[in-house]
Structure 1
Amino acid sequence: MSTVKPQNALYRITVCHYLIAALFFLALTVMFLFSTEAISGHYFQPKILALTHIAALGWGTMIIFGTLYQLLPFILETSLFSIRLSWFSLAFFVPGVILLVYSFWVFNPGLNMQIASLLIFVAVVLFNLNVFLTVKDKKQKSIVTEFILTSCIWLSLTVLLGGLMVFNFTFSFLPKDHLQFLRLHAHMGIAGWFLMLIIGVSAKLLPMFLVSKYQKTHLLSYSYYFINAALLLFILDGYVYGINFKTYVISFLGVLGICFYMAYVYQCVITRIRAGIDLPMLQTLLSFILLALAILTLPFVLYYHLKHNALATNLSVFYGILIFMGWINSLILGQTFKILPYVVWLKCYEHLTGKVKTPLPADLIGNGLLYLQFATFLVFLLTFIPGFLFSYDILKYIAAGSLLLTALCYGIHVVCLLLHPIKTENYEQS
């Protein structure tokens, strides 16, 4: 199959993912607003399962798919293997996510949920096939490529286990307790898919966006091996023994891997040539703080779990919200307005470079919407955390309302970017 694809085709598939993800984000925030009471309960309940999966799949994974289609050719200096495969993957993925989230929300673990899991699995297989066939002809592999490919493998395993758990509701064939598999499923997704992929992509983008001179990759290599070792040990030990004292040691290995990555980020920041940090990058750096805050809750989750204390359940929910609504949200909200303006700029202005004066990608951003988005997200964080920890319902409702405003600002901003009119000097459009 030919790997030469028109830039317009790549633009359309990327933009389609961003628009659908924005709609899923808006739906997530509406569902969150109507689930504030359920959030304080056990994590294995319909509304929390629905929220988790629309955040992880409809919002986070949808954005990642669209971004990788655009960035993988840039990172590897090659062409995407197949635009058609990307559309097929999207065609399976969107109805699968909608059906799965609906099935969890009304908790109907029957045929609809099973069909949804199969649709999502097929979509992921097609996505991974596209990624691996794009990478296979690249002779020189890098640690960035290893992170991306490994994350795709973990995504497949996460979705496969999730599908088995869905069918287990009806046929009860899994040999262990369902909650035990749920913990494994969740951390395969969080650490194996999201963390590995984010580290791999950000390792390429952060130095570029910060204009950093730092080029060494040994910290990333340490991070790769420690995180994967911790995840494999967690799955093996967790399957056989469940949560136990050894989980502390395994978690420490994973945290050490994240610390190596954080050290890499720090080196990129302190060696940057550009003095200031713009708002999208500030929101990206905030996401790392939220990740660190989530990691700090883990020892308490383990401690109270081993003590069979009910606080373990509440802290597990808090940990999950910090991951999905904090870390992943903040990262996407920041990086969208570093990546998408460049994508739009390529579409509108690349062919005019050197012919006429054109704006920079950063000039395409609406600063008013960007500041409002950042402000409402901060209000969400500052009200939700104390509201959850101290059971203040009014603060939780304010947080949910603020996050809804964040989603509206994000969606409007994305649409405005995509409707950007071409502006140049001394240029008449033919």
Structure 2
Amino acid sequence: MKTNGPMPLVGGARLPLGFIGFGLVALVTACAWLAWEPSLVLQPHLHPRVVALAHLWLPGFLLSVCFGATYQLTPVVLGEPLAWERVTWGHLGLHAAGVPAMVAGFLTGRMDVAAAGGAAVAMGVILFSANVWVTFARAKRRDAIGWSLPLAGGWLVLTVLGGLLLAAMKLGLSVPVSPLGLLRAHAHAGLAGFFLTLVQGVAFQLVPMFTLGEVRRPWRVAAGLVGTQAGLVGLAGGLVMERSELVWAGAAGIAVGVALSGIELVATLGARRKRRLEPGLKAFVAGAGAVGVSVIVGGVLVWAEPGVAALRGAMGYGVAIIGGAMALMVMGMLCKIVPFLVWMRAYGPKVGRVAVPAAHTLGNAGWERAWLGLHVAGVMALGVGAMMESVVVVSAGAWMLAGGVSFFAMNAARVLGHLRVSNAAGLRLTRPTFL
């Protein structure tokens, strides 16, 4: 049913915070594991422990957080309540059960367990994507920001279908495609298809909101999204079919799309009225810069001759795009989103009755700065160490990354601790809003 006022918090903020909390647990676990076993960065793509760690990072951390944020942002962006809000709780259960099963299955070599976990995650993805698509169909907004939501959901469905096909091939299914090509297409459909598509749209809703700025040239947002979508079709198809000309054309399309989005992001930041960038927004900007670096490195790898150097570069590319670009952008926005959600739940009902703290004071800016510095240094060391095949350098990078994430986790725990205020007071939220 449509509402004429602002959109309420989805699930009273519990649902998005549930996904985000699960993702943060996965992040801390993944960083601790990498610090304990940094040599994983130097292993081949298909090594079972590398695959397990990658799934702890991607579906476990990044995807979980994006699910929570997207469920909350979809009504805000589209101006339409979620089509099936109750279904989101079932999705949370499927995801929370499926990710550990996938990681455990890959880690122990039990592909049947990994496939079962993947099936649970896939069912959750289908529920998520259908929810977003139906909400989009009911809404009137049809600009690039609105379109980014169903497009990202579509790429995510293709990503999980590719993952299930890879698992079936491991279990003995004969398919006339290269497992490595399918794996690379699976990874790019998830990273560029879902995460990048989502960021190319939602960033132009969030950045103006948090910086009091405005989008200067909406056509650049749309053109950037179109370029990326066209490029992704070519890249994914070329990787699966092992057609180098399609891979080259796809990489060029993605590069053009990212460049247009980057130009508009710079223009949007230049138009902001809130001149000082907080650590979270600095992290987001740093992550956006890492996207540009990753596109350049990826383009070089497309043209590189197969060999040891290309394999080293591929691992450095993976570190840059997962640990650098995507993690920094997602974690940077969490520094803004989580305090706001917690503030609305814990203090929203008290506004006008008692003095309440400002949302930006719930966390610790010093801890955020410590996280950002250590995270950037750690990712750079991991990337360089991977290309140099240096255990010492990747070990240093893994420990710096783990130290940075420790500060991030402490800050998140501090913010979430404010929820005890509303629980202790037994307050009931009355249509709190995100904006």
Measured on the aligned residues, the alpha-carbon RMSD in Å equals 2.5
- Partner Cα separation in structure 2 for residue 7 and residue 271 of structure 1: 29
Aligned match of 1:41: 43
What is the deviation of 1:133? 2.9
Task: Report the equivalent of 1:374.
Answer: 372
- Aligned residue runs from structure 1 range 337-416, under 5 A: 337-416=335-414
Which whole-Å CA distance do the structure 2 matches of 1:389 and 1:8 have between them? 43
Structure 1 pair 237–213 and aligned structure 2 pair: CA distance change class (3 A)? closer
Aligned residues: 423
* Contact persistence 1:281–1:335 (CA under 8 A): yes
Q: How does 1:232-251 map to 2 (within 5 A)?
A: 232-240=233-241, 242-251=242-251
Equivalent residue, structure 2, for 1:426: none
Q: Distance in 2 between matches of 1:397 and 1:310?
A: 21
8 A contact 1:381–1:399 mirrored in 2: yes
Aligned twin of 1:57: 59
Q: Is the 8 A contact 1:22 1:407 kept in 2?
A: no
| Aligned-partner Cα distance in 2 for 1:259–1:7 | 34
Aligned equivalents of 1:261, 1:2: Cα separation in 2 = 32
CA contact (8 A) 1:349 1:422 kept: no
Cα deviation code 1:125-168 (max 9, x no counterpart): 11122222333321232211111110101100110111011011
1:73 and 1:116 mapped to 2: Cα distance? 29
1:71-120 residue CA offsets vs partner (Å, 9 max, x unmatched): 212222332233321110111112211111111122222x2122112111
Counterpart residue identity of residue 70, structure 2 = L
Aligned residue number for residue 26 of structure 1? 28
Opposite residue 272 of structure 2, the aligned amino acid is: R
Give the deviation of 1:246 after TM superposition: 4.7
* Distance of aligned partners of 1:89 and 1:333 in 2 relative to their CA distance in 1, 3 Å threshold: same
Matched, 1:281 2:281: yes
**Unaligned regions of 5+ residues in structure 1, if any?**
424-428
Maintained 8 Å contact 1:210/1:268 = no
Once the 2 structures are TM-superposed, how far is the Cα of residue 421 of structure 1 from its aligned partner?
6.8
What are the equivalent positions in structure 2 for 1:217-236 lying under 5 Å apart? 217-236=218-237
Matched AA of 1:303:
W
**Residues 234 and 250, structure 1, Cα contact 8 Å, conserved in 2:** yes
Shift of 1:390: 2.7
- Check whether the contact 1:2–1:81 (CA below 8 A) recurs between aligned residues: no
* TM superposition shift of 1:49: 0.9
Q: CA deviation at 1:38?
A: 2.9
CA 1:10–1:388: 2 relative to 1, 3 Å: same
Structure 1 stretch displaced more, 399-408 or 189-198: 399-408
**Structure 1 contact 8–347 (Cα < 8 Å) conserved:** no
**CA–CA distance in structure 1, aligned partners of residues 198 and 126 of structure 2:** 16
Query: Does 2:280 correspond to 1:264?
Result: no
Call closer, same or farther: CA 1:385–1:317 in 2, change over 3 Å. Answer: closer
How far does residue 172 in structure 1 lie from its aligned partner after superposition? 2.5
Deviation at 1:333, TM superposition (A): 2.0
Deviation at 1:204, TM superposition (A): 0.6
Worse-matched range after superposition: 207-216 or 171-180: 207-216
Matched, 1:311 2:309: yes
Aligned pair in 2 of structure 1 residues 247, 69: CA closer, same or farther (>3 Å)?
Answer: closer
Distance 2:392 2:290 in 1: 23
In 1, Cα distance between equivalents of 2:97 and 2:10: 25
Q: Verify: 1:137 aligned to 2:135, yes or no.
A: no
Tell me the residue number matched to 1:201.
Answer: 202
Deviates most, 6-15 or 327-336: 6-15
Q: Could you tell me whether the CA contact under 8 Å between 2:185 and 2:237 is conserved in 1?
A: no
Whole-Å Cα distance in 2 between the matches of residues 172 and 213 of structure 1? 51
Matched residue type, 1:14: P
Over 3 Å counting, the alpha-carbon distance change for 1:8 and 1:149 in structure 2 is: closer
The structure-2 alpha-carbon separation of the partners of 1:377 and 1:236, relative to structure 1 and needing over 3 Å to count, comes to: closer
Q: Deviations over 1:161-199 (max 9, x none)?
A: 110110111123211111111111111111111100111
Counterpart Cα distance in 1 of 2:227 and 2:419: 47
Distance 2:214 2:8 in 1: 33
Cα contact 1:224–1:257 (8 A) shared by 2 = yes
- Normalising by structure 2, what TM-score? 0.91
SS of the aligned residue for 1:83 comes to: coil
In 2, Cα distance between equivalents of 1:194 and 1:299: 19
Asked if structure 1 preserves the Cα contact closer than 8 Å seen for 2:34 and 2:40, the reply is: no
Q: C-alpha separation between the residues in 2 aligned to 1:178 and 1:118?
A: 19
> What letter matches 2:293 in structure 1?
L
- Which residue in the other structure is 1:108 paired with? 110
Alpha-carbon contact 2:201-2:225 (below 8 Å) kept: no
Gaps of 5+ in 2: 422-426, 429-435
Identity of aligned residues (%): 20
Partner residue in 1 for 2:120 = 119
